[in-house]
Structure 1
């Protein structure tokens, strides 16, 4: 006889027999309300998303999905919170040790490839990175920190790495909710349905900040919202595939999410020259544009375990044995 799913630490819990819509809707409502509350001041404060406090308050708002899972699991579903969100480590250490660095590398590759393809398609840029390195050195000298070019570049990359590690914490606040909890709840919808519906919930959760210019700066907001939904479908697919590889633990997906947030600007900066920012198209040339979306879907398809698709769709009652990843 198969052991109870809660005692299979190397695998995620089996999905429910059908989508538990009441807990899902309560989870979404709480997550939405908390982010909206965090974003509300910046609808009125001077500068909006450029306000000095914006990034700090937004980082706090990223914990909204995790907080929502605590409330739903403790008060509605009354299960084990760590089991429900996949934050189990026993039996998963090898997977985590493999997929945390791989998740970072995959997202770095997508960001870098998007920037390179941007230049190859005709946007002004320098693929050698020498323009960026020289500008970085000058900027540091103007700030009173003169140093050789290799040292200046190393400092910038080190700061970026530290920022990536720090921003994993709020990114995990999101991933606990979206890929740790919601990903499994929507599996009865089937492979495509679960990805699309999950991405729609996730993307619309960003509305309080998307509407004030957080993504696709300068673009008309209706177009920005529409493109962001498509980008979230691709990213939900990728982060979900990484979570499947990690046995349901959302930590590697949090590293991928943090890498996206921390290095997208750097990737563009490294290839940028005069005229790059003016001629690049946010709907085409970034990880949230057409190029990045295509690369993300391709990476997700390669990463998603073949057997994992069998866990999507209506579940049979009785003992269940999850597919081996």
Structure 2
């Protein structure tokens, strides 16, 4: 009995709460809590997006961004609902234990989560740039990396007649350099999602195995976007094809964000990585040449088929360099 108590105490001190101890020891997914999480997150997503459907303006609705941002906080609410179910099953838990379970606090040792957070902020725009490189190599679009003619034409159209436009090269440089700042600005909104997907759901599914947990949590993340995808969001597709593509792209991107959670035990690298990806999504508009063909978003967009290939390639690289070996992943997540 004393050994069992010692094991539980040690696990809690290391960052694992009673919920994770139960999951790891019994290899049991808390399906009741997962069901509550799934129903709550998707139900609230549809509730938030309902005005967009009722107003009938689709992607041209001026309030689209507002509702999309509000929707980002529904997984956080679903996480609270899931924790309440777990609390009833596993007894009372303090706030500090719950924060540890969600990977929010404490950051000990801090070097790894901080380092991987910085790496994620840098890596996400590089992944988007890699996708644009593939687009160019395939001849789907032309890019102007010197005069930025496409962006210059856009700026010229937006500047009032007679006004002096700043140098377009300077504007592009500022846009690219400030991506890390934009990642920080985006972080509170990304947190509303990541505390659900990588903070709670990924560890909850971990008894299924590392790869099933990564793929299922990422696929559900994609499915959760359905109310917006069916309006044409991201891909311009308003049928099940867009939903399936979103599920696929989020499952693959979710491997990368999920790896940061498993590698560090912290949700913050995924939060800032998510924020950096959102900040990088418009990079193509800065680099495209004037008069270039514009490929369909479902092919060459930031979550299109080409980027799916980039995410998959990055995941393969992580596997090949041993980043998914059991001893490298955080044992505190089961």
Aligned to 1:221: 239
What is the CA distance between 1:137 and its match in structure 2?
4.9
* Residues 1:176 and 2:195 aligned together: yes
Q: Residues 10 and 96 of structure 1: is their aligned pair in 2 closer, same or farther, counting only changes over 3 Å?
A: farther
Aligned to 2:229: 210
Work out the CA distance in 2 between the residues paired with 1:269 and 1:276: 15
Aligned to 1:288: 303
Which shows bigger deviation, 44-53 or 82-91?
44-53
Q: Residues 90 and 229 of structure 1: is their aligned pair in 2 closer, same or farther, counting only changes over 3 Å?
A: closer
Work out the CA distance in 1 between the residues paired with 2:209 and 2:262: 15
What is the CA distance between 1:300 and its match in structure 2?
2.7
Secondary structure in structure 1 of the residue aligned to 2:297: coil
Secondary structure in structure 1 of the residue aligned to 2:284: helix
- The answer to whether the 8 Å contact 1:211/1:221 transfers is yes
TM-score, scaled relative to structure 2: 0.82
Secondary structure in structure 2 of the residue aligned to 1:142: coil
What is the CA distance between 1:162 and its match in structure 2?
4.3
Of the three residues 189, 196, 201, the one matched with 2:215 is 196
Work out the CA distance in 1 between the residues paired with 2:146 and 2:229: 31
- The answer to whether the 8 Å contact 2:183/2:273 transfers is no
* Residues 1:114 and 2:131 aligned together: yes
Of the three residues 157, 164, 168, the one matched with 1:149 is 168
What is the CA distance between 1:184 and its match in structure 2?
0.7
Aligned to 1:30: 40
Gapped regions of structure 2 (runs ≥ 5): 1-5
What are the equivalent positions in structure 2 for 1:1-325 lying under 5 Å apart? 3-9=9-15, 15-16=23-24, 17-77=27-87, 78-79=92-93, 80-130=97-147, 131-132=149-150, 134-135=152-153, 137-139=155-157, 141-142=159-160, 144=163, 146-157=165-176, 161-217=180-236, 219-245=237-263, 247-277=264-294, 280-303=295-318, 306=322, 310=326, 322=331
Work out the CA distance in 1 between the residues paired with 2:167 and 2:297: 33
Gapped regions of structure 1 (runs ≥ 5): 312-320
What is the CA distance between 1:185 and its match in structure 2?
0.9
What is the CA distance between 1:9 and its match in structure 2?
4.2
What is the CA distance between 1:172 and its match in structure 2?
0.9
- Return the structure number with greater helix share: 2
Secondary structure in structure 1 of the residue aligned to 2:40: helix
